[in-house]
Amino acid sequence: MNAIAPTALAPERLQVAGDFPILARPVRKRRLVYLDNGATTQKPDAVIEAERGFYRESNANIHRGVHWLSQHATDLYEAARRTVQGFINAAAADEIVFTRGTTEAINLVANSWGRAQLVAGDEILITTLEHHSNIVPWQLLCEATGAVLKVAPVTDAGELELDAFDALLGPRTRMVAIAHVSNALGTVNPVATLIERAHAVGALVLVDGAQAVAHQRVDVQALGCDFYAFSGHKLYGPTGTGVLYGRAELLAAMPPWQGGGDMIRTVSFERSTYAEPPQRFEAGTPNIAGTIGLAAAIDYVQAIGLDRIAAYEHGLLDKATAAVGDIPGLRVIGTAADKAAILSFVVDGIHPHDLGTILDMEGVAIRAGHHCAMPLMKRFGIPGTARASLAMYNDEADIATLVEAIHKAQDMFGTRRPR
Amino acid sequence: MSDMDGNLRELYQEVIFDHNRQPRNFHAMDDADRVADGNNPLCGDELTVYLRIADGVVTDASFVGHGCAISTASASLMTEAVKGKPVEEVEALFRDFHALLTDTPPKRDFGKLEVLTGVREFPARVKCATLAWHTLHNALVGDHKPARTE
């Protein structure tokens, strides 16, 4: 068995698992080994209590501040916006638009910026490793405007082919939409370089940061991106929360994409005028409690420190890759030099779903399938992978259990081979 | 052996492994009378079912495709089970088999198909076991939309 030697510990143990109550519950009478963090992370007490506390102490609708409680709720909500601003180092709090998640953030840009700006023949450049949520909104936009979707390929290691990316950039490229970190492979794209090259041809850049923000420090000004989208629930925050960062002058020029309360300045039956960003893009009562929870999640990870989290997770990913990659008959999919938190693999003779079921019986939660990245699976000629995705509360014991469970699956299928 | 291990062994019986490793009637059929596709896009499972029908009897059945062990074994066992049966009986078997996995099991002899009852303890995997059968049903009724069970 590939026990991980205690001498090979990560640089620093974070000792945070105790902050996450769900990790103490058994699943299928086993210790829960939660390795599906790429789908959603578990929530610390700080987040659970922040949402609960909001409903117990502060609940009212926001931006209708005639009474004390409404003003109080509004203050908390706007403080959350400043928390997000600080978290990604946006220049101003008004550059932070709250959404339901990454998907809605990308759809917002495609619908508002895209439909106002694009004409037939304009080009949108994405990559083969995008999640469906960074493909389909652009396809819909292309259908509506006659714009053309271009796709930059990836290598066998799952790294973007930079020469091909450059060759696809041109005078008609208006938008480059790229994942910061691939959800299916863990590849970290060289986004700063890609942004520089896109800007050189006058294109804007949207970065899908769904799989990045929980695993490394993100500074939107240092990156120089035009839009940055992420979800709260992959960042230890509540589901149904998300963020679109947009540079102020871009947001100011964008039309509303959903109409309703809170996004208007004046309404008459002849003509309505719209609020300034970010309210222009936040029609209707938002997920107030969730947003308060998101701010609590950000406070929580910042107290631990993104650099510490990144260092710890890199160490753990290296160990996991070594231990899992060492299993005969197992092939790691996605071997980029720069990776974060995600280990995708296929096992000879065992379909990912069978593997997922057997691992589940050992208390090990992984994702099996195409990870909402069907074009990428096609690129690798596989129907899907098994994916273990790490978070800061995972440890060497989790990896050891994962390895044992894979061995068990191979024993059951009669495919285990000696090393 | 814990209950968990017991459930898992119920799901993955030797017959399942056998039919997964060496699926029966696993080939395309050039002279098929009926063909239908099935796919579960979330899983990535895809298969095609071929039937020859003469005088209201399924005289031959085969399939091609790829999927998990449960889906492959179910398709393989299905082709064996339906060969030589009148179309009405095959349709009745489809309904009964579906009930066997998802509802009150009907009182009848399912033969080798009994090995698939292990999915009852794994609701997320029922769709794997039933995909081939819904595809078979579509082939029989001439529905050209790909069958889906998720």
Work out the mean pLDDT of chain A and round it to a whole number: 95
> Catalytic pick from A251, A372, A388, A399?
A372
Asked whether the predicted pLDDT for residue A81 surpasses 60, the reply is yes
Residue B1: its pLDDT value, please? 47
pLDDT in tens, A319-369: 999 999 999 999 999 999 999 999 999 999 999 999 999 999 999 999 999
Residue A296: its pLDDT value, please? 98
Is any Cβ of chain A less than 8 angstroms from the Cβ of B13?
no
Give the one of B46, B66, B122 whose C-beta lies nearest to A357's C-beta: B122
pTM passes above 0.90: yes
**Spans of chain B below 70 pLDDT:** 1-4
Residue B44: its pLDDT value, please? 83
- Planar angle of CA A32, A35, A36, nearest 5 degrees: 115
pLDDT in tens, A33-62: 999 999 999 999 999 999 999 999 999 999
State mean pLDDT over A238-251: 98
Pairing mode, if any, of strands A385-389 and A342-347? antiparallel
Pairing mode, if any, of strands A123-127 and A148-152? parallel
CB A218 within 8 A of CB A209: yes
Helices A288-304 and A45-53: crossing angle, nearest 10°? Answer: 150
pLDDT in tens, A285-316: 999 999 999 999 999 999 999 999 999 999 99
Task: Say if the Cβ atoms of B7 and A361 lie within 8 Å.
Answer: yes
Task: Say if the Cβ atoms of B5 and A361 lie within 8 Å.
Answer: yes
Which of B58, B55, B64 lies closest to B30 in space, CA to CA?
B64
Q: How many CB atoms lie within 10 A of CB B91?
A: 16
Is any Cβ of chain A less than 8 angstroms from the Cβ of B66?
yes
CB A176 within 8 A of CB A194: yes
Is any Cβ of chain A less than 8 angstroms from the Cβ of B44?
yes
Which of A245, A248, A277, A240 lies closest to A262 in space, CA to CA?
A277
In the chain, the amino acid numbered A67 is H
Asked whether the predicted pLDDT for residue A264 surpasses 70, the reply is yes
Q: How many CB atoms lie within 10 A of CB B33?
A: 14
Residue B2: its pLDDT value, please? 60
Residue of A nearest to B66 (CA): A383
State mean pLDDT over A108-121: 98
pLDDT in tens, A141-171: 999 999 999 999 999 999 999 999 999 999 9
In this prediction, residue A383 has a pLDDT band, given cuts at 50, 70 and 90, of: confident
Sign of the alpha-carbon torsion through A278, A284, A289, A294 = negative
| Beta-ladder partners of A208 | A179, A229
* Residue indicated by tokens 């809605």: A104
Query: Can A142 be counted among the known catalytic residues?
Result: no
| % of chain A at pLDDT higher than 70 | 97
Asked whether the predicted pLDDT for residue A9 surpasses 80, the reply is no
Sign of the alpha-carbon torsion through A156, B64, B140, A353 = negative
In this prediction, residue A133 has a pLDDT band, given cuts at 50, 70 and 90, of: very high
Pairing mode, if any, of strands A364-365 and A33-34? parallel
